[in-house]
């Protein structure tokens, strides 16, 4: 018994002390920046882009799957910083623009939601629906609760039943086959509730957007409160987005 206690004490505190201020590996492709306005680079890069994320000197972070092709081919125009703070409460602000007057690109707008902060600021339970995701976003959402990221210490948790949830978090592009289950799950969550989209598939359909297998009509009826880009979304992006939404960042 004493040996077990000794071993446990030897593990120390394993969680990242403050996930909002954590540093991430320099190779992580996070928040993109447009370094210059170049119509020719945009045109050529848009032909490489698998998700039509590049258009008119803009990069749509909600469509980008971070394949890195644009940066590899046009490093003087596109740059991805190792910054995981990419979530937004405003879908339009995920479109990163070249701002000639400021000499830099715009950033996602992430604001506290006063109503959600008041109701769920200390405890926010999420029910995940994997709506035809590839399982990587789901995995990273699960990792947000592991011993390393430990979002449970902030009262953020993924729960097993929609009856126990305060929000629905969608991963995946929403296929026809998952559309009904998604609506049923949303209906089963008691009011008040929030909708969160996690990963580029959930936000825009990602690489599946142009296929015929999706039914995203649910998103025409319900307004998401938070968009978390990534492919997959990083646990730090998820935690940062949720805490900022609840006014705790
Ligand atoms: S990194 Fe994003 S914007 Fe660039 S080519 Fe890939 S998907 Fe398109
Ligand atoms: S956004 Fe990327 S990682 Fe997430 S479900 Fe879609 S393909 Fe998978």
Average pLDDT over the chain reads 94
Question: Which of 45, 58, 67 has most ligand 1 atoms within 8 Å of CB, for mutation?
Answer: 67
Name the pTM for this structure. 0.94
For the residues 56-85, what does the mean pLDDT come to? 94
Going by DSSP bridges, is the β-strand pair 32-34/78-80 parallel, antiparallel, or unpaired? antiparallel
For the residues 178-191, what does the mean pLDDT come to? 97
Per-residue confidence (pLDDT) for residue 100, from 0 to 100? 76
Beta strands in 42-166 (DSSP E): 54-55, 58-60, 78-80, 95-99, 104-105, 124-130, 156-158
Question: Which of 86, 203, 232, 233 has most ligand 2 atoms within 8 Å of CB, for mutation?
Answer: 232
The domains of the chain are located at: 114-245
Q: Quote the ligand 1 centre to 52 CA distance (angstroms).
A: 8
Q: Quote the ligand 1 centre to 164 CA distance (angstroms).
A: 37
**The CATH number of the domain covering residues in 114-245:** 3.40.50.12280
Please name the helix (run of DSSP H) or strand (run of DSSP E) that holds residue 242, with its range, or none: helix 235-245
CB atoms within 10 A of CB 152: 13
Tokens for 157, please give them. Answer: 């948790």
Q: Are the C-beta atoms of 172 and 137 separated by less than 8 Å?
A: yes
Per-residue confidence (pLDDT) for residue 25, from 0 to 100? 93
Which residue would you say has higher pLDDT here, 140 or 3?
A: 140
For residue 77, the ligand closest to its alpha carbon is: 1
Give the N- to C-terminal CA distance of the chain in Å, as an integer: 40
For the residues 167-173, what does the mean pLDDT come to? 98
Residue 189 has pLDDT above 90, yes or no: yes
Which atom of ligand 2 is found nearest the CA of 207? 7
For the residues 220-236, what does the mean pLDDT come to? 97
89 Cβ closer than 6 Å to some ligand 1 atom: no
106 falls in which pLDDT band (50, 70, 90)? confident
Tokens for 148, please give them. Answer: 């390393």
For the residues 20-34, what does the mean pLDDT come to? 92
231 Cβ closer than 6 Å to some ligand 2 atom: yes
Tokens 């319900």, located at residue: 222
Q: Quote the ligand 1 centre to 44 CA distance (angstroms).
A: 12
75 falls in which pLDDT band (50, 70, 90)? very high
Residue 222 CA to its chain's centroid (Å): 18
139 falls in which pLDDT band (50, 70, 90)? very high
CB atoms within 10 A of CB 230: 27
What CA–CA distance (Å, rounded) separates 33 from 16?
27
CB atoms within 10 A of CB 212: 7
Q: Are the C-beta atoms of 100 and 34 separated by less than 8 Å?
A: no
């Amino acid at each position: 018994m004493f040996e077990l206690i000794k071993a446990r004490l030897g593990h120390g505190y394993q969680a990242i002390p403050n996930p909002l201020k954590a540093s991430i590996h320099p190779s992580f492709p996070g928040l993109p920046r447009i370094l210059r306005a170049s119509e020719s680079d945009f045109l050529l890069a848009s032909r490489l882009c698998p998700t039509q994320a590049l258009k008119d000197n803009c990069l749509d972070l909600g469509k980008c799957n971070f394949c890195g092709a644009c940066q590899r081919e046009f490093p003087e125009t596109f740059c991805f910083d190792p910054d995981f703070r990419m979530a937004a409460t405003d879908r339009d602000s995920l479109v990163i623009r070249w701002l000639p007057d400021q000499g830099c690109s715009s950033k996602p707008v992430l604001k506290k939601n006063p109503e959600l902060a008041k109701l769920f600021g200390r405890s926010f339970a999420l029910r995940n629906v994997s709506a035809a995701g590839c399982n990587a976003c789901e995995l990273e959402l699960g990792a947000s609760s592991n011993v390393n990221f430990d979002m449970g210490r902030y009262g953020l948790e993924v729960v097993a039943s929609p009856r126990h949830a305060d929000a629905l978090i969608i991963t995946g592009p929403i296929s026809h086959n998952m559309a009904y289950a998604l609506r049923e799950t949303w209906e089963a969550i008691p009011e008040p509730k929030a909708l969160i989209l996690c990963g580029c598939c959930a936000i825009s359909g990602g690489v599946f957007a142009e296929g015929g297998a999706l039914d995203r009509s649910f998103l025409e009826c319900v307004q998401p409160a938070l968009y978390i880009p990534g492919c997959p979304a990083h646990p730090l992006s998820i935690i940062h987005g949720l805490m900022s939404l609840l006014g705790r960042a």
